[in-house]
């Protein structure tokens, strides 16, 4: 699998080189990690997609590689880096939910070559999936807001809760936050989102026309 061409200043470290860090992601969160590590003199490589280029253009990014869209290809790339580029012992920093889940689910094999900053999946899954988090909080007797998981219009109409409410996707890979807007929601999600908006309006008297 080819990892693409890089600028002339980007050199592959030799084995035994001072360990560095591989940052997964190109957005502002990744940029913060790259800057923090780079200012400490730590070598940083960035794996990024085409949509986010904040982190890759940082002067502290010593090498930039494309982050595949397919999960199988992503995992293959992570296994390829230590073998082909001498990155054994480097720290791995995922900066979004999907990348963190990928690392967590493959924690055992990836930990053979990287220093992982992500816990194993049996730990991370409680925070990754918002449908599981309330159950954990309840078990540990931690105060938390009332949480509901309506799956269709009927479930929304039957909700017994006060509005306004916070609307969040259960996981980031199921939908994007902007898709929770009634006019932007994908077809399969739109009825539930629209129904929630209608129920909220009715219960707060917002569906009545202003005089």
SS3 of the chain: helix, strand, coil, percent, to 5: 35, 10, 55
Would you call 21 helix, strand, or coil by DSSP? strand
pLDDT for res 35: 98
pLDDT for res 197: 54
Give the whole-angstrom CA distance, residue 93 versus residue 78. 12
| Structure confidence by residue, pLDDT tens digits, 125-167 | 999 998 899 999 999 999 988 888 877 777 777 777 776 777 7
Reply yes or no on whether the pLDDT at 78 is more than 90.
Answer: yes
* Residue closest to 167 by CA, chosen among 203, 130, 201: 130
pLDDT for res 149: 82
Q: Which domains does the chain have, with CATH numbers?
A: 21-127 (3.40.50.20), 129-203 (no CATH)
Contact 163, 200 (CB under 8 A): yes
| Structure confidence by residue, pLDDT tens digits, 6-56 | 332 334 444 446 789 999 999 999 999 999 999 999 999 999 998 889 999
With bands split at pLDDT 50, 70 and 90, how would you rate the model's confidence at 202? low
Percent of the chain with pLDDT over 70: 72
């Amino acid at each position: 699998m080819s990892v693409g061409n890089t600028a002339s200043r980007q050199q592959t470290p030799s084995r035994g080189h001072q360990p560095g860090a591989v940052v997964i992601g190109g957005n502002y969160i990744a940029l913060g990690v790259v800057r923090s590590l780079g200012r400490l003199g730590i070598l940083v490589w960035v794996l990024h997609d085409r949509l986010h280029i904040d982190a890759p253009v940082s002067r502290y990014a010593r090498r930039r590689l494309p982050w595949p869209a397919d999960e199988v290809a992503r995992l293959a790339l992570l296994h390829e880096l230590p073998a082909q580029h001498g990155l054994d012992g480097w720290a791995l920093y995922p900066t979004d939910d999907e990348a963190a889940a990928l690392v967590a689910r493959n924690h055992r094999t990836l930990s053979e070559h990287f220093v992982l900053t992500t816990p194993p999946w049996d730990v991370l899954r409680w925070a990754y999936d918002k449908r599981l988090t309330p159950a954990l909080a309840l078990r540990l007797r931690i105060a938390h807001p009332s949480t509901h998981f309506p799956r269709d219009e009927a479930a929304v109409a039957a909700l017994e809760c006060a509005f306004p409410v916070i609307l969040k996707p259960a996981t980031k890979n199921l939908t994007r936050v902007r898709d929770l807007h009634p006019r932007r929601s994908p077809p399969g999600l739109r009825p539930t989102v629209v129904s929630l908006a209608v129920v909220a309006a009715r219960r707060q008297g917002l569906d009545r026309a202003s005089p």
